[in-house]
Amino acid sequence: GESVGLHLPTLSVQEGDNSIINCAYSNSASDYFIWYKQESGKGPQFIIDIRSNMDKRQGQRVTVLLNKTVKHLSLQIAATQPGDSAVYFCAEIDTGGFKTIFGAGTRLFVKA
């Protein structure tokens, strides 16, 4: 079946460096994408989203890039901080089919 997958299950970065978390998707009908952050013992929190008519969207210290040609999504975190340590999930949504698919998740470790 179609699924969302991640290239790197674990990422370790030095505090202050930039982080890049990648996600591949395969459902060509997906037209909306979300990144969630899940800290230990908590539910997923919305970070940033992007619609399929865009290639890039920026938030505070975070940027999401969407490459529809190769079905690839990435989350960039600038100046990574210890508070960014968490598991990050991408989610792809087919708004026509009411279907949300979560990726496997990437655990980000930030070294002080």
Alpha-carbon distance of 34 to 46, in angstroms, equals 7
Beta partners for residue 106, in sequence order: 88
Rounded least distance, CB 30 to another protein, Å: 10
* Nearer CB in complex with another protein: 98/112: 98
Closer by beta carbon to another protein, 7 or else 99: 99
Spatial separation of the C-alpha atoms in residues 99 and 105, rounded to whole Å: 18
> What residues line the site for another protein (CB under 8 A)?
32, 34, 36, 41-46, 49, 89, 93, 95-96, 98-100, 102-105, 107
